[in-house]
Amino acid sequence: MTPPDTPEDKPALLQPRRTRQRNWLPSLVWLIPIIAAVVGLSLVAKILIDRGPLVTVTFRSAEGLEAGKTRVKYKDVEIGQVQTLKLAPDRSHVLVGIQLNKEAAGFDAEDTRYWVVRPRIAASGISGLGTLLSGAYIGADPGASEQSKKSFVGLEQPPIVTRDASGRQFVLHTNDLGSLDIGSPIFYRRIKVGQVVAYDLDADGRGVTLRIFVNAPYDKFVTQTSRFWHASGFDMELNASGFKLHTQALATVVLGGIAFRDRDEDRVSAPAKEGAEYALVEDESAAMKEPDGVPQTALLYFDQSLRGLQPGATVDFRGVVLGEVKSIGVEYDKARGEFRMPVVVQIYPERLGRRFQEETGEQRRSNAHLLRTLVKRGLRAQLRNGNLLTGQLYVAIDFFPKAKPAQIDPDKTPLELPTIPGSLDELQQQLSDIAGKLSKVPFDEIGRDLQTTLKTLNKTLSTAEQTAARINNDIAPEMQAAMKDARKTLNAAERTLSDDAPLQQDIRQTMQELSKAAASIRILTDYLQQHPESLIRGKQEP
């Protein structure tokens, strides 16, 4: 048996060399998270770099808006997105947080406007129909201010005119808004050239101020002498002058509208500046008339019925309108113990013509003194019937030289002008007087006397009839016999006087003998005139 080997007898074994692992190289397991983190950080950096300002817009309601979905657009280009929707602490409105893109940095200007685009039907038309499928979005109109802010009050209605529109705005003043609304069209020669963008009640509550926008290039037709008026679809006027109908564009029937034109088109006027102010009148005729100057309020007292006279009726001077009736009423006069009918009118004395004022030297005097001069010359006011069909009256001012003298007080307010009764009232008064006189005639007694006379006449006619019958029975045969005798006598005379009757021949011969005798006498007379001595001596021999 071989003995086991001792350790000294065994050869030396190679030991494995241990090397230390390098810790600075990442493991493949961490490579993917690292790459994801780098990509995420780059995306975050890109988002931070591309992010624009964050603004808050206040709306009354968040209808149609969703956080993280609703877009903000300008000219149909997305410039931001709604991030948050919060209810205000007082619950009166909604705070909408909007994150704008980097390229929309200018949309935080102080005068920027925001509104919600959704389907709407307004005076300017139907808008937002595309949102029926895509949903509502927020529209924006960038401002021009250099100042920026983070909070805005959103518009409840889309603006009619955006700031990038080409044209100019003007201001109109009127007593009544009428049928106008935001978006109502503006017409020039019946062509739509603009629209109403805003209106507001004046501070004193006595009028309305409108802002209109006229598109380019039509804004150059708004000059310093332009006139604006309400242009409704059908302008009907029924007054003492008759019935008038004026028509404009059909769109104004529903929307209303405004028309304008230059008052003096023969002269070239400079275009008006931005924001120029004009008066908006009721119709075209009022807009195109000449300047009237300072009006004069006058008071007229009539002692007759005012039926047919209405406020707005014309005050006429021989066909020229001098003014209009402002109000009518009734007033009791203690001194006279009767009622009078006061009529307040507004007249424009300058409509009588500047030449009249210059020739009479009244151009430097007040209208009251001018009217006093005219009253001295017989100026009076009179009610006249302007339309027999409608029965409407108007106030006519004219000169009546035979009118009673009257004086007016130029310092009295309002100025009281004298009046005379109308021609129709005078006729009615005359008819009333005639009726009064006729009522005094004793028609009953006349009727009784006439009845008695008729009875007597009836008896007379009966007697005459009996007499005629008696004459017909007794005298008629004798008259017939007498007529026969007269006819016989006439026949005999006719035979005697005929051409072939003997008497006619004898008379003819006698006349011839008489002619010869007359000739002999004429010869004898001529001879005696020549030889008067022949009466003594006799006729001498030739």
DSSP letter at 136 equals -
Q: What integer pLDDT is reported at residue 426 of this predicted model?
A: 62
Can you give the pTM of this predicted structure?
Answer: 0.53
Q: What integer pLDDT is reported at residue 125 of this predicted model?
A: 57
Phi, psi angles (nearest 5°) of residue 409? -100, 110
CA dist., res. 97 & res. 367, Å (int): 66
Q: Are 84 and 94 in contact (CB under 8 A)?
A: no
What does the pLDDT look like over 221-251, one tens digit per residue? Answer: 999 889 999 887 555 665 555 556 555 555 5
pLDDT bracket for residue 363 (50, 70, 90): very low
CA dist., res. 319 & res. 398, Å (int): 10
Q: Give the residue carrying structure tokens 């201001």.
A: 171
Q: Kindly give, in sequence order, each residue whose CB lies less than 8 Å from that of residue 329, ignoring residues fewer than 6 positions away.
A: 341, 342, 343
What does the pLDDT look like over 277-336, one tens digit per residue? Answer: 999 988 887 777 776 677 888 888 888 888 888 898 889 888 888 888 999 988 888 887
Cα angle vertex 209, ends 204, 215, to 5°? 170
Work out whether strand 151-153 and strand 258-262 pair parallel, antiparallel, or are unpaired: unpaired
Q: What integer pLDDT is reported at residue 95 of this predicted model?
A: 93
Q: Three-state SS string across 238-290, please?
A: EECCEEEEEECCCCHHHHCCEEEEECCCCCCCCECCCCCEEEEECCHHHHHCC
CA dist., res. 350 & res. 347, Å (int): 9
Q: What integer pLDDT is reported at residue 8 of this predicted model?
A: 54
State the average pLDDT for the chain.
79
The answer to whether residue 266 scores a pLDDT higher than 80 is: no
pLDDT bracket for residue 211 (50, 70, 90): very high
Q: What integer pLDDT is reported at residue 170 of this predicted model?
A: 94
Kindly state the tokens that stand for 284.
């075209």
What does the pLDDT look like over 144-164, one tens digit per residue? Answer: 888 888 899 988 888 878 877
pLDDT bracket for residue 425 (50, 70, 90): low
CA dist., res. 231 & res. 225, Å (int): 19
The mean pLDDT value for 160-171 works out to: 85
CA dist., res. 209 & res. 186, Å (int): 15
Classify residue 55 by burial, with Cβ atoms within 10 Å: 0-12, 13-18, 19+: buried
The answer to whether residue 276 scores a pLDDT higher than 80 is: yes
CA dist., res. 11 & res. 341, Å (int): 153
